[in-house]
Amino acid sequence: MIPFPWIPGIPYEIGITTSDGTRFSKSVEAAALAPTPDANQALLFTSLGVYVGVIPVLIGLMWYPYIRRISIGKYSFFLSLTAGLLIFLGIDALLEVNEIVNQNLAAVFNGQALSVLVTISSFIVLLYTSERLTQRAIEKAVLKKNNHSLASSSSVGKLGKSEKSTTERQGGEIYNKSAKISSSTQEVQIQLQRYQQLLKPLTISMMIAIGIGLHNFGEGLAIGAAMLLGEVALSTFLIVGFTLHNTTEGLAIVAPIAKIERSRRMMIRRLVTMGLIAGVPTIAGTWIGGFLYSPIAAVIFLSVGAGAIFQVVYSLISWISHHQKSAPSSPLSGHVIAGFITGLLIMYLTGLLL
């Protein structure tokens, strides 16, 4: 460690010149003491994470009652708006990665290639995981219904044996029992379709929350690192900008599940859980960024977040296509196009504050 005098709040350029004349330098816009891990700093970073990540996302969840009551056309608009929001978030994450690679990461790590590798890998892994989770949930539901049907069939068989002597007299009743079994099988198929319609949007919303959580983790890293490096003005802009930026993310979580017929108490509990999944990682990001910032970790986590977001967009577009096929309008309707463009514009305009 090389001691030298400095004044808080004054910009400095700190550098090292080697024996062959090569110079490595770093500018500090406003000199300040580096945060030290203690209770006060941890509380400060926690408060920032709650203010930037948790509260705005939970505010965005308040769209739920409105979207639940709107027409099919307007609902398609909000679904495609969600896709636009997420596409912008994914691209924004990759741009942040590129900026970190150019400014803070040594060339030996080949940051751009690492980012592409992590993004594609996370996309494939999360796509497989989400599809597998949905399929397992449907299989469990079908198995439960089949067991119920077998139990009903077994009870009918026992009834036939105990009343064998009166088969002819009660033939019509036995026929009615068989008809009920057939009807029960049809009910199982109907229930299967209902489970598919229920679980698919729930899975999409959960993956949206996870993807946004990973993205917000990267935002927390940026805020914590800005404070660690003494960039007070930058950290203030990031806090205000990310807060407004993140209020739109709750809408992205709400839109896919707004039309699901579930009890209000259960749905509110699910929404709060998803909101916390999306917002709480910001707190962890500010801790790591403020106390132990690592450019390579920032590149990896932001790339994972980008891959997760692109996976969600893929699933969401598939869901929109399926949803539109059941509607009288064409899959590429004016509502869908307008919603997608509006989503991009919203994120662009709120991003101007960063």
Segment 58-108, tens digit of pLDDT? 888 888 888 888 887 788 888 888 888 888 888 888 888 898 888 878 778
Single-letter code of the amino acid located at 250: G
C-beta of residue 60 within 8 angstroms of C-beta of residue 251: yes
Residue from 243, 203, 210, 238 nearest 86 by CA: 210
Structure tokens at 301: 């986590």
pTM here?
0.68
Where residue 256 falls among pLDDT bands split at 50, 70, 90? confident
Between 303 and 30, whose confidence is greater?
Answer: 303
Phi and psi at residue 28, to the nearest 5°: -120, 120
Written as six digits, the tokens of 248 are 């739109």
Q: pLDDT category, 119, cuts 50, 70, 90?
A: very high
- pLDDT at residue 310 greater than cutoff 80: yes
Query: Which comes out higher in pLDDT, residue 271 or 185?
Result: 271
Query: Cα(199)–Cα(327) distance, rounded to whole angstroms?
Result: 20
In the chain, where the domains are located = 41-135+196-351
Instruction: Tell me which residue of 282, 157, 155 sits closest to 215, measured CA to CA.
Output: 282
pLDDT, tens only, 322-336: 666 555 445 567 888
CA 111/CA 95 separation, integer angstroms? 12
What whole-number distance in Å separates Cα of residue 351 and Cα of residue 95? Answer: 13
Q: 12-16, 151-155, 339-343: which has the minimum mean pLDDT?
A: 151-155
Question: For residue 275, is pLDDT > 50?
Answer: yes
Task: Write out pLDDT tens, residues 189-229.
Answer: 566 566 666 677 788 888 888 888 888 887 788 778 777 66
